[in-house]
Amino acid sequence: MTLPIENLLQHRHLWRATDGLEVERGTLTTGFANLDAALAGGGWPTDGLTEIIGDTPGVGELRLLLPALAELSQQRQRWVAWVAPPWLPYAPALAAAGMNVKRILLIHPKHHQDLLWATEQALKSGTCSAVLSWPDPRHLRHSDLRRLQLAAREGDSWGILFRPEAAAEQPSPAELRLRLAADPEHGDGSGLHLRVIKRRGGWPSEELPIRFDDLLTRRLAGPEQAAALRQLALWQPQSPNTPHPPYVNRSDERTDALSSSQRAYR
């Protein structure tokens, strides 16, 4: 039986133009007041897709996410999953930023189809508060994005996809899309420029300056500035001889029998 229209209008995932940015739904503060003010509900959506768009890895994308990821890792007994990160996350910097590194789950799929499957399963499993994923832009389809958006809603999980600059011109079902660029006035990694190109309840935003004037910056910006700035990127270059740290749960084994979900990405 069809539900009355009044019931449908109460659904938390339905947005109406009259709602503006003041919409009641699950959000998490970003830790940056000017960004919170630009987002629906005053923060990151906790059960949908967010796209981080840019061609320069290490520009500050992880620093931008860290306040929220740290809160999730401390407050919720769920994983923060990293699917196919390009480098190994730098544990000391993550811990210094307040992350519970025992809640980090690293997943290293061998193929793009496996990456999509792992991302979808992590999102809808109900065991991950956040899932960060780096899909191959050459093979990522709109239908894949739609499946991941639905999986994030099903599992009440914050999905974060890292995509190249060219993706900004492509349609996406993600409810929040941010374009990042380096701050030319602060080449020391202490800030970046951000533009919201898609957001729930509002038009694209003007460029927002983001400054990382936080505890992590103060802890690492000591006498050995060069080493501190490398740590601020939160990445540790990965080589074949680099051992995986003991605090990380790692899964890179491919299952012989493909599930129906995996076949859907073939």
Model confidence at 109: pLDDT above 60: yes
- Say if 242 falls within a structural domain: yes
33 in any annotated domain: yes
Q: Is 11 inside any structural domain?
A: no
Q: How far, in Å, CA of 55 to CA of 139, rounded?
A: 17
Tokens of 30: 């970003």
- Is residue 104 assigned to a domain? yes
pTM: 0.78
Residue 3 lies in a domain: no
Residues 6+ apart with CB under 8 A from 69: 80, 99, 130
Q: Is 36 helix (H, G, I), strand (E, B) or coil?
A: helix
Position 13 scores a pLDDT of 47
Q: Which of 51, 16, 243, 67 is nearest to 166 (CA)?
A: 51
User: At 236, which helix (H) or strand (E)?
Assistant: strand 235-236
16 lies in some domain: no
> Could you report the per-residue pLDDT of 77-103, keeping only the tens digit for each?
999 999 999 888 888 778 878 899 999
Q: Cα–Cα distance between 175 and 182 in angstroms, integer?
A: 24
Task: For residue range 39-51, list pLDDT tens digits in order.
Answer: 989 999 999 999 9
pLDDT digits (tens, 9 = 90+) for 151-209: 999 999 999 999 999 999 999 999 999 999 988 776 566 788 999 999 887 777 788 99
Question: Would residue 174 count as lying in a domain?
Answer: yes
Provide the domain count of the chain.
1
CATH number at residue 66: 3.40.50.300
Domain assignment of residue 15, yes or no: no
Domain coverage including residue 252? 23-263
